């Protein structure tokens, strides 16, 4: 897996890399093609509710953390901002599995202009037969899979594939950019079936090696402090400010927090976000990174515009879903039918939630 990443030796800033250098992992594309070939002549049913989001699983246990609040002053020293986000969507079901699509987006701000690179969409047909192939795509996942006692549910493969693409893009960006702020969507939590501790360590190390700083913004968190959600702690404080939660346990069950947990309030409104910053960076470096973000990116509702755009560009619109479904139908010669929503049939307008 690592061999597929081009190693950049030039120390100077060279982002964005030409598209050719961002070679897609061949195995990833091949798996997509292979999976779709097997869908030929099979019927696909489209579920009414195609978007499934999986919550981040975090298990906070007893701990005695402390907090320290830091006021922030925007630092306008020119620093490139790069944001990465990946989306996936369930396109429908077949007799043997599910159809998915993933897409990643990289957005960077340079000279007051935003630029984007969209990678994908990659359609997949995941079946009981081929779901284990996902793990062969990544060495780390292979190991993670070996640790699992039972085969993962087909539904979780959506998260696995999404994370796979996300980590690949993150690694590509980490090693092709220098002296940049790299914004991730989510947390720096490892030890999940999708992301091993070793993989996260490698990602963060590569970023540090190139003098990059990874800032991970979580829109939702379940971390509590003194019975309160951590993001509610500083909404009354004047902005911009950063609350560091110290002495938070690194290991929570199988999970490992690879970053220091902060709560960021970057604009004058009620919005606050959990912000994870690489644990290996000093507090001063962390503060400096957030101050550079304030001085170099447009921040609205406490959220960086670059990351917002990455989210927007990776997200699938309903029109795109139809387009991908058509693509699959045409390339794989499938007849698409709509499977009735059994919840709707049973409960009428009260039949909400997932299909099935």
Binding site for another protein (CB under 8 A): 19, 22, 24, 29, 32, 107, 113-123, 309, 312-313, 317-324, 326-327, 330-331
Q: How far is the CB of 97 from another protein (least distance, A)?
A: 18
Distance of CA 294 to the CA centre of its chain: 22
Determine the Cα–Cα distance for residues 336 and 327; give it in Å rounded to an integer.
11
Q: How far is CA 242 from CA 100, 272, 279, 334, in A?
A: 38, 10, 15, 52
101 vs 277 by CB, closer to another protein: 101
Q: Residue 170: which of 134, 218, 123, 215 has the closest Cα?
A: 215
Structure tokens at 211: 């003098």
Q: Residue 304: which of 219, 178, 194 has the closest Cα?
A: 219
Q: How far is the CB of 326 from another protein (least distance, A)?
A: 5
112 vs 247 by CB, closer to another protein: 112
155 vs 298 by CB, closer to another protein: 298
Q: How far is the CB of 187 from another protein (least distance, A)?
A: 26
154 C-beta neighbours (distance < 10 Å), count: 16
Q: How far is the CB of 227 from another protein (least distance, A)?
A: 39
**CA angle, 86 then 118 then 186, to 5°:** 20
Q: Residue 161: which of 32, 43, 349 has the closest Cα?
A: 32
Structure tokens at 270: 């009620």
List Cβ neighbours of 27 (8 Å cut-off, separation of 6 or more).
136, 137
Q: How far is the CB of 125 from another protein (least distance, A)?
A: 13
Q: Residue 276: which of 295, 292, 256 has the closest Cα?
A: 256
Answer whether 311's CB lies under 8 Å from 85's CB: yes
19 vs 300 by CB, closer to another protein: 19
Determine the Cα–Cα distance for residues 60 and 72; give it in Å rounded to an integer.
28
Q: Residue 180: which of 289, 283, 285, 310 has the closest Cα?
A: 289
124 vs 248 by CB, closer to another protein: 124
122 vs 273 by CB, closer to another protein: 122
Q: How far is the CB of 242 from another protein (least distance, A)?
A: 28
Determine the Cα–Cα distance for residues 4 and 10; give it in Å rounded to an integer.
18
2 vs 317 by CB, closer to another protein: 317
Q: How far is the CB of 225 from another protein (least distance, A)?
A: 37
Answer whether 137's CB lies under 8 Å from 169's CB: no
51 vs 57 by CB, closer to another protein: 51
Q: How far is the CB of 107 from another protein (least distance, A)?
A: 8
């Amino acid at each position: 897996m690592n061999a597929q990443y081009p190693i950049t030796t030039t120390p100077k800033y060279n982002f964005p890399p030409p598209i050719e250098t961002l070679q897609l992992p061949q195995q990833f594309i091949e798996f997509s093609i292979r999976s779709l070939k097997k869908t030929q002549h099979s019927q696909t049913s489209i579920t009414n509710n195609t978007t499934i989001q999986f919550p981040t699983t975090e298990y906070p246990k007893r701990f005695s953390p402390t907090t320290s609040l830091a006021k922030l002053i925007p630092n306008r020293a020119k620093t490139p901002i790069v944001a990465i986000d990946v989306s996936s969507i369930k396109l429908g079901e077949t007799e043997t599995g599910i159809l998915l699509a993933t897409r990643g987006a990289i957005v960077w701000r340079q000279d007051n202009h935003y630029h984007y690179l969209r990678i994908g969409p990659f359609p997949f047909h995941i079946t009981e037969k081929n779901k284990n192939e996902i793990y062969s795509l990544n060495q780390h996942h292979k190991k993670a899979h070996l640790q699992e006692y039972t085969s993962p549910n087909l539904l979780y493969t959506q998260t696995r594939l999404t994370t796979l693409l996300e980590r690949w893009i993150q690694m590509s960006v980490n090693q092709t950019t220098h002296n940049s702020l790299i914004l991730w969507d989510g947390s720096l939590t490892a030890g999940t079936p999708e992301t091993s501790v070793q993989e996260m360590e490698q990602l963060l190390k590569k970023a540090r090696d190139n003098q990059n700083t990874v800032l991970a913004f979580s829109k939702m968190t379940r971390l509590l402090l003194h019975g309160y959600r951590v993001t509610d702690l500083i909404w009354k404080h004047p902005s911009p400010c950063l609350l560091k939660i110290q002495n938070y346990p690194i290991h929570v069950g199988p999970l490992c927090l690879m970053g220091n947990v902060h709560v960021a309030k970057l604009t004058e409104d009620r919005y606050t976000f959990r912000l994870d910053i690489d644990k290996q960076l000093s507090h001063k470096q962390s503060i400096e990174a957030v101050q550079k973000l304030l001085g170099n990116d447009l921040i609205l509702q406490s959220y960086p515009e670059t990351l917002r755009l990455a989210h927007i560009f990776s997200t699938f619109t309903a029109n795109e879903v139809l387009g991908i479904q058509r693509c699959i139908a045409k390339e794989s010669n499938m007849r698409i039918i709509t499977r009735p929503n059994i919840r709707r049939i049973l409960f009428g307008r009260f039949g909400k939630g997932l299909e099935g």
